[in-house]
A and B are shown apart, each in its own frame.
Chain A
Amino acid sequence: MSYLALPFIQKALIAAVLVGLAAPAVGTYLVQRRLALMGDGLGHVALTGVALGFLLGTSPVLTAVIVAALGAVAIELVRAHGKASGDVALAMLFYGGIAGGVLLISLEPGGNTNLLTYLFGSILTVDTQDLVTIGVLAAAVLVVAVGLRRQLFSVCQDEEFARVSGLPVQLLNIILAVTAALTVTVAMRVVGLLLVSALLVVPVAAAQQLTRGFAATMATAMGIGVLVAVGGVLVSYPLDVGPGSLIVVLAIAVFGVTSLVSAVLTRRVRQPA
């Protein structure tokens, strides 16, 4: 494990812990309200933001945050004013995001190979500047996801009841959507935009095989998130494979294990020895 002394590995590990905590925290609410694929959509939209950043010569992460946040608000408004064509409108936004991103990139003279970094992630190239950005965004995400957990729980559990409680439902929904957009842009450096949603959703799916409560699910999912993100970085370097994809494969493996454990436990309860 001598490679642990390498500065880029250390930076990657810090990024892995931050993303491993933040992504499942937000993902728990998305899964709760059965919007598990929202992260995917936001990832698509963020691509336009990344491309815009390249084109304007500014930080792609910054433009991705802005574009993804605007996309998140748009998705939320379409959902809240739920017309029958709501899912079609979402599809437009998602495909528009990918197509807009690719189109903008092709406008840039000489093209840009960096795009692959954002599509598939490259946690090993995270520098100190990136780490600061990831740290600030992850902290903001955690403050919202943990600090507003009772209110967000109520809204995601039963939106109409939350409305009759006098909670600012629309505001909370927009806060959650923007937080999800921040998470997607934080996580894109780690697993890439194409796999972002996996880090939001798979640890939650794995955790809820073993838990009975919401807070317990969120805490367990955050633990699994850190475990697979850190594990992915540690294992990928000696194996010389892409850490982003390995992190997601590990998460799915954990899901497989917890499902199995859950099935065995349920069977034991049904057939006491």
Chain B
Amino acid sequence: MTELLPEPVVDVRNASVALGGRGVLHDVSLRLGTGEVVTLLGANGSGKSTLVRAMVGLAPLTGGTVSLFGTPLPRFREWNRLGYLPQRITAASGVPATVREVVAAGRLSGRGLLARFGPTDHAAVDDALDLVGMREHAGQGVGRLSGGQQQRVLIARALAGRPDLLVLDEPMSGVDQESQEAFAAALQRMVAEGTSVLLVLHEPGQLAPMIDRSVVLGEGRVVYVGTSPPASDAHRDADHDFLPPPTGGFGLSSSPLGAPVRP
């Protein structure tokens, strides 16, 4: 069990977010301790991605607060401690880019505009590519890779800054078996080195053994917090493509770092 530390890596308190005038998150609280691996589960439209986007400063809060590493988000500047994987389908854009070029973008975190790209940066890019098993594709154009390989490239970009906190939005979506295994292995190594991880997932799958805690969102609220994924009828109704293992009861208990739960 994770040690209870005074300052969580992520501390979301009573966060609300509205998009286009419509409330998407309502009074959501979530804490992530050092070295913890937490999954965010829920149906499409339950607010998972919005919560993650609010956490990294991409979705403005209409209420509540977010702190990263003990610093309120508006004052947070240590972006190099955060590795982020946005939810997307492709790594390609209007102009071709090699795998190495895309991953190198992950080395710019928290640096000035005039920072030089040195041997340390090249080594970190190599390491990140090794971690996801894409080193041999470093010189290839990302547009020509399979969806799963592109996702691995984007994961490598999130890893390239050697972050203390990984926030990964749907890292397994559209990812083939080989890429899933590569990703699980990479994550295992990062966690072993003390990285804290927040994962948005549809199903825990082979990551289940690594997960310390699952938080389920439903209609923009936290509906479940527990050490294993829930097997509730309510949740199953809300999300037909999510089939949790039948282990673990539906309880509103939370772990010591867990969020206050309001059913």
Contact = CB atoms under 8 A, between A and B. Distances in A.
Nearest to B109: A165
A31 B95 contact: yes
A154 B139 CA distance: 18
A33 B84 contact: no
A117 interface: no
B85 to A, nearest CB: 9
Contact of B79 (A154, A164, A217): A164
Nearest to A163: B58
Interface string B65-95: 0000000000001011010101010000111
A165 B86 CA distance: 12
A214 B104 CA distance: 12
B93 A150 contact: no
29 contacts: A31-B94, A32-B95, A34-B93, A34-B94, A36-B94, A150-B105, A153-B105, A154-B108, A157-B105, A160-B58, A160-B86, A161-B84, A161-B86, A161-B157, A163-B57, A164-B56, A164-B57, A164-B58, A164-B79, A164-B82, A164-B86, A165-B105, A165-B161, A208-B95, A212-B98, A212-B141, A213-B101, A213-B139, A214-B95
B261 interface: no
Contacts of B96: 208, 211-214, 216-217
Interface string A147-158: 010110110111
A212 B82 CA distance: 29
Interface of B: 56-58, 77, 79-80, 82, 84, 86, 88, 93-98, 100-102, 104-106, 108-111, 113, 117, 139-141, 144, 157, 161
Nearest to B144: A212
A177 interface: no
Contacts of A70: none
B109 A32 contact: no
A54 B161 CA distance: 52
Contacts of A162: 105, 108
B181 to A, nearest CB: 25
B56 to A, nearest CB: 5
Contacts of B144: 212
A216 B100 CA distance: 13
Interface in A181-222: 204, 208, 211-217
A63 to B, nearest CB: 29
A139 B77 CA distance: 33
A31 B96 CA distance: 10
Contacts of A32: 93-95
A212 B139 contact: yes
Contacts of A215: 101
Contacts of B104: 150
Contacts of B79: 164-166
Contact of B97 (A36, A157, A161, A204): A157
Contact of B105 (A36, A148, A154, A211): A154
A166 B110 contact: yes
A241 B80 CA distance: 56
Nearest to B87: A160
A179 interface: no
A173 interface: no
A214 B111 CA distance: 22
Contacts of A165: 79, 105-106, 108-110, 161
Interface string A28-41: 10011110100000
A148 B113 contact: yes
B113 to A, nearest CB: 6
B97 A214 contact: yes
Of the candidates A150, A161, A168, the one having the most CB atoms from chain B within 10 angstroms of its own CB is A161
B81 to A, nearest CB: 10
A212 B141 CA distance: 5
A172 B105 CA distance: 15
Interface string A15-32: 000000000000010011
Contacts of A166: 77, 79-80, 109-111
Contact of B113 (A161, A168, A213): A168
A91 B216 CA distance: 45
A251 B93 CA distance: 23
Contacts of A252: none
Contacts of B161: 165
Of the candidates A32, A151, A212, A216, the one having the most CB atoms from chain B within 10 angstroms of its own CB is A212
A167 interface: yes
A165 B78 CA distance: 9
